[in-house]
């Protein structure tokens, strides 16, 4: 096959981890007989520095000429919350998700076999295993709602953010979750705050309708505050967890940390038709940028998700995941996952080791 892939190297450690992921991608392509072409796309803080805005004109169009997008990381304290919106990397991320229609964010939170002792939870809990898939709605809710700020008469300034969801938005993300559950352990946990929020009550109604359409999938409602607790108490109880944008932001980060392997976790953001976007869940870590210290595994595993979800190529995805597990099983570690005293390898060496095993 021929694949055209947009590369958003981004800020901080982004370029380094993308380099290693591209290396692995090329090795896999060669092994399986694919042709890959790359298109560089400028976005994030580096774009602000280069052209004055984090989301240059034509970004989405450039991405749309490709079959998938691979992103390293964007952001950093240099382009903080005090900067105008068009200079902030977050603005670009949110705009790109919206313009590409990437409404479903898939974030596996699983303990890799060689990494169970990284889990911050008690050994009994880690030994039971953690293998859940967070499905976060990514283009609706309060992160995309109308914002406002005005002077009041007696309470100083006031600010507002609007959370909104339509049935259509809820249904399409819900359907993704039920379909995924069928390919996994057959359980969907839908997270909301239906005892308070109107959007959550609509969310719950739509999910119940879908649950009736998928009688083979086990379904439960979980309140968001309860879910935050259950992820700590017994994460092994979850299979697919589906929730709205902001709850998903919070809970998927919590779930990731519960695995203890933030540096290893990939993500996929997909829509209907448009190119999917694949990126590690970790940030741009400007403090270690350019020092050959970053862990490229999460970006490499994002390439595996790309093969699985955008190209429907499970064999290639499996090959990458197996290579990563083999390297970890041999004891190779980047500094972020090395135990005190353990010798660690750099970004490039980790990339090379994984390419070798593919």
Binding site for ligand IPM (CB under 6 A): 90, 93-94, 195-196, 225, 249
- Binder of residue 199, out of ligand IPM, its own copies, none (CB less than 5 to 8 A by kind): its own copies
Judged by CB under 8 A, the chain residues 200 through 219 that form the site for its own copies are 200-202, 204
Please state, in angstroms and rounded to a whole number, the distance separating the CA atoms of residues 331 and 325: 10
119 CB neighbour count, 10 Å cutoff: 20
Show the site string, 83-112: x = touches its own copies by CB under 8 A, - = not. Answer: -----x-x---x------------------
90 vs 325, beta carbon nearer ligand IPM: 90
Please list, in sequence order, all residues whose beta carbon lies within 8 angstroms of the beta carbon of residue 33, skipping any fewer than 6 positions away.
none
| Least Cβ distance, residue 306 to ligand IPM (angstroms) | 17
Query: Tokens at residue 66, please?
Result: 């490709």
DSSP conformation letters of 204-252: HHHHHHHHHH-TTSEEEEEEHHHHHHHHHH-GGG-SEEEE-HHHHHHHH
Cβ neighbours for 246, distance < 8 A, ≥ 6 positions apart: 141, 142, 143, 163
**Of residues 162-201, which lie at the interface with its own copies (CB under 8 A)?**
162-169, 171, 193-201
Q: How far is CA 126 from CA 110, 234, 275, 339, in A?
A: 10, 9, 35, 17
Do 308 and 275 form a contact (C-beta atoms < 8 A)? Answer: no
Among 36, 246, 344, 353, binds its own copies (CB under 8 A): 246
Instruction: Tell which one of 11, 16, 249, 321 touches its own copies (CB under 8 A).
Output: 249
Helix (H) / strand (E) element for 69: namely strand 68-73
Q: Measuring CA to CA, which residue among 25, 13, 28, 17 is closest to residue 296?
A: 17
Q: How far is the CB of 333 from ligand IPM (least distance, A)?
A: 25
Site track 286-325 with its own copies (rule: CB under 8 A), x = hit = ----------------------------------------
Which stretches of the chain bind its own copies, using CB under 8 A? 75, 80-81, 88, 90, 94, 120-123, 125, 142-143, 145, 147-149, 152, 154-169, 171, 193-202, 204, 224-226, 228-233, 246-247, 249-251, 253-254, 256-258, 262
């Amino acid at each position: 096959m021929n694949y055209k892939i947009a590369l958003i190297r981004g800020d901080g450690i982004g370029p380094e981890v993308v380099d290693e992921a591209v290396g692995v991608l090329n090795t896999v392509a060669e092994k399986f007989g694919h042709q890959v072409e790359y298109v560089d796309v400028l976005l994030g803080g580096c774009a602000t520095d280069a052209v004055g805005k984090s989301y240059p004109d034509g970004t989405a169009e450039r991405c749309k000429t490709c079959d998938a997008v691979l992103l390293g990381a964007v952001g950093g304290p240099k382009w903080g919350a005090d900067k105008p919106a068009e200079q902030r990397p977050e603005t670009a991320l949110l705009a790109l998700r919206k313009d590409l229609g990437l409404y479903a964010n898939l974030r596996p939170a699983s303990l890799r076999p060689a990494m169970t002792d990284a889990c911050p939870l008690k050994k009994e809990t880690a030994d039971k295993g953690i293998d859940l898939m967070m499905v976060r709605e990514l283009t609706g809710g309060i992160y995309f709602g109308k914002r406002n700020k005005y002077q009041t008469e007696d309470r100083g300034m006031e600010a507002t953010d609007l959370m909104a969801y339509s049935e259509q938005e809820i249904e399409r993300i819900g359907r993704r979750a039920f379909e995924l559950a069928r390919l996994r352990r057959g359980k969907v946990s839908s997270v909301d705050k239906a005892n308070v929020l109107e959007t959550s009550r609509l969310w719950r109604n739509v999910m119940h309708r879908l649950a009736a359409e998928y009688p083979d999938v086990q379904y439960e409602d979980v309140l968001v505050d309860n879910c935050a607790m259950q992820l700590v108490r017994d994460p092994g109880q979850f299979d697919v967890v589906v929730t709205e944008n902001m709850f998903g932001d919070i809970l998927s980060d919590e779930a990731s940390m519960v695995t203890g392997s933030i540096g290893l976790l990939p993500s996929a953001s997909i829509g209907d038709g448009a190119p999917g976007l694949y990126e590690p869940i970790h940030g741009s870590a400007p403090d270690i940028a350019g020092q050959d210290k970053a862990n490229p595994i999460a970006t490499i595993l994002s390439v595996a998700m790309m093969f699985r979800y955008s190209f429907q190529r499970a064999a290639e995805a499996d090959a990458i995941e197996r290579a990563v597990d083999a390297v970890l099983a041999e004891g190779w570690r980047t500094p972020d996952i090395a135990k005190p005293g353990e010798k660690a390898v750099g970004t490039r060496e980790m990339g090379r080791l994984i390419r070798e095993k593919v």
